[in-house]
Amino acid sequence: MIRAYSLSNFPEEGFKLYREMRNRGITPDPLSSSFVTKSCIRMSSLLGGLQVHAKILEDGHQSDSLLLTTLMNFYSSCQKFDDACKVFDEMPQRDTVAWNVLISCYTRNGRTRDALGVFDMMESKRCGSQPDDVTCLLVLQACSNLGALEFGGRVHSYIREHGFGNAVNLCNSLIAMYSRCGCVDKAYQVFKGMPSKDVISWSAMISGLASHGHGREAIEAFWEMQRMGVAPDDQTFTGVLCACSHSGLVDEGWMFFDCMSKEFSVTPNVHHYGCMVDLLGRAGLLEQAYQLILSMRVRPDAAMWRTLLGACRIYGHVSLGECVIEHLIELKAQEAGDYVLLLNTYSSVGNWEKVIEVRKLMKEKEIQTTPGCSTIELTGVIHEFLVDDISHPRKNEIYEMLDEIGKQLKIAGYVAEVTSELHDLGSEEKESSLSYHSEKLAMAFGVLATPPGTTIRVAKNLRTCVDCHNFAKVLSGVYNRVVIIRDRTRFHHFREGRCSCNDYW
């Protein structure tokens, strides 16, 4: 009964039954305790779970692996990560499920790199349990977040060697991982090799193609999907609309937007509207984009206004930019990045008075900026850089390399745009050409530490700025390197002095 309640919409009834059982003098076995713990997870009741934990010790069930794994899960779901790890440490025997819970606990807790470390340990057979398909799913997710392509490739090999290769959910995760790590052709290989594809596979492939700027191919994949008789869902349309927007296909975008509800009974949600706003904004149809937002039945979210604000910056549309900021303030969702966009809108039309005003405002309101952070993977190890970072063990070589690259790029015509964009506003005073954004450090490290011709892959947590974008473009030509930067919203493939985004991002 407790178990049934733990799976139902009334988990608290399970907790009551457990208490009644104890009151009647019946000692629960590890299974009943495990089920009531699951009820506590469903109820998000920290107090209830703590009580159960105390009783488990009282009952002498502290060495039951299954029960302890459930307890770990409970602590992890209540954000009590240290307690979850403590339960794990005290387990006399740990099976694969327990290790998997540890991995998901790390991932939830933002300790993504440690999650990969657990996979390492499991694979090396140092811990007596081997990774299973669930481990692989969890680790692939972690690789996607980190942009850890090599590590993801290792997981892929493991999946093949252990015969999980035909599992649809694993293949779907591989497609997502490869696309998120900037390797859309590998994603396509996995996709092509799948014996059967579900709607998630198609959507993942379409989104992957779209985010890498292969708009036409993404749309082609959509029609192929229709020929195969797979019904699209809302994710599929997010991918297709995103494809239209990254490739500037306004007419196609409107066509898909109109037909999604009429022909496929998928009601446009906030993301779909967001893609349309992006598409119209990119095409310079700012007024249309604004009207579309105002016409929405659902309340527009901050991300949508931010998209429009980005377009205002590109087209130097000051009055609309000011109006959008008002909407963001009304939603109480304004972030440092929004003010930076507004500021850049002013600077793009040369209104320096307003630039100073916005900066003063930001200082007064003590608006926190997110520090820019870039990562680059080298033989399976993730290297992390912040702005003007000097914590890397090879920092001297990196800065020498940056100097050298700077000289080479200057010869090729690169001019540092010192005033262009101030996305790391915290370093206000340092906006001279002496300041290095994190992606420049990561790129320099890439040039330094990999053989000539190797593709450099960088993942960045914020939008990349115009200056770093120019830097990467020229670098890709001068050093004959493909540079792939994943920023907050999209991928930039730099090749022979050009970028796949056509300078719109």
Provide the 10 A C-beta neighbour count for residue 351.
16
Binding of residue 463 to Zn ion (CB under 5 A): no
d(CA 367, CA 337): 10
Q: Which residues of 303-340 are buried (b: 16+ CB within 10 A; e: fewer)?
A: ebbbbbbbbbbbbebbebbeebbebbeeeeebebbbbb
Decide: is 442 part of the binding site for Zn ion (CB under 5 A): no
* Residue at token pair 């493909």: 482
Given the complex with Zn ion, which of 147 and 153 has the nearer CB atom?
147
Query: To the nearest whole angstrom, how small is the minimum distance from the Cβ of residue 61 to Zn ion?
Result: 55
Q: Please state, as a whole number, how many other Cβ atoms lie within 10 Å of the Cβ of residue 229.
A: 6
Neighbouring C-alpha atoms within 13 Å toward the C-beta of 56: 26
The two beta strands, 456-460 and 498-499, are unpaired
In whole angstroms, the minimum distance from the beta carbon of 442 to Zn ion comes to 11
Q: At its nearest, how many Å lie between Zn ion and the CB of residue 211?
A: 12
Q: Which residue in 101, 149, 218, 501 binds Zn ion (CB under 5 A)?
A: 501
* Smallest distance from Zn ion to CB 463, Å: 9
Binding flag, residue 437, Zn ion (CB under 5 A): yes
- Scanning 137-145, 344-352, 384-392, 467-475 for contacts with Zn ion by CB under 5 A, the matching segment is 467-475
Q: Does 499 bind Zn ion (CB under 5 A)?
A: yes
Nearer to Zn ion, 231 or 412 (CB): 412
CB-nearer residue toward Zn ion: 197 or 437 = 437
Which range, of 151-159, 244-252, 358-366, 433-441, touches Zn ion by CB under 5 A?
Answer: 433-441
Q: Quick one: residue 284, left, alpha or beta (phi over 0 = left, psi -120 to 50 = alpha)?
A: left
**In the complex, minimum distance from the CB of residue 495 to Zn ion, in angstroms, rounded to a whole number:** 11
Strand 491-495 to 483-486 pairing: antiparallel
Give me the least distance between CB of 253 and Zn ion, in Å please: 20
Nearer of residues 175 and 465 to Zn ion, judged by Cβ = 465
Least distance to Zn ion, CB of residue 174, Å: 26
Nearer to Zn ion, 53 or 492 (CB): 492
314 forms part of the interface with Zn ion (CB under 5 A): no
Binding mask 468-487 for Zn ion (x = CB under 5 A): x-------------------
Piece in contact with Zn ion (CB under 5 A), picked from 67-75, 164-172, 392-400, 461-469: 461-469
Amino acid occupying residue 83: D
Residue 492 in contact with Zn ion, rule: CB under 5 A: yes
HEC states along 427-480? HHHHCCCCCCCHHHHHHHHHHHHCCCCCCEEEEECCCCCHHHHHHHHHHHHHCC
Amino acid at 294: L
Fill in the amino acid letter for 322: E
Paired with 460 in beta bridges are 374
Closest CB 431 distance from Zn ion, rounded Å:
10
Helix pair angle (184-193, 168-180), 10° resolution: 160
Selected from 171, 311, 465, 474, the binder of Zn ion by CB under 5 A is 465
Residues of span 352-391 touching Zn ion by CB under 5 A = none
As measured in angstroms, the least distance from the Cβ of 460 to Zn ion is 9
- Beta-strand (E) ranges in 300-442? 373-378, 381-386
Between 154 and 212, whose beta carbon lies closer to Zn ion?
A: 212
Write the binding mask 391 to 430 for Zn ion: x where contact by CB under 5 A, - elsewhere: ----------------------------------------
Closest to Zn ion by CB, 97 vs 499, is 499
Candidates 79-87, 174-182, 264-272, 465-473; binding stretch for Zn ion (CB under 5 A): 465-473
Size of the site for Zn ion (CB under 5 A): 6
Strand order in the sheet with 483-486: 381-386, 373-378, 456-460, 483-486, 491-495, 498-499
Kindly state the DSSP code that residue 426 receives in the 8-state scheme: G
Which parts of this chain interact with Zn ion (CB under 5 A)? Answer: 437, 465, 468, 492, 499, 501
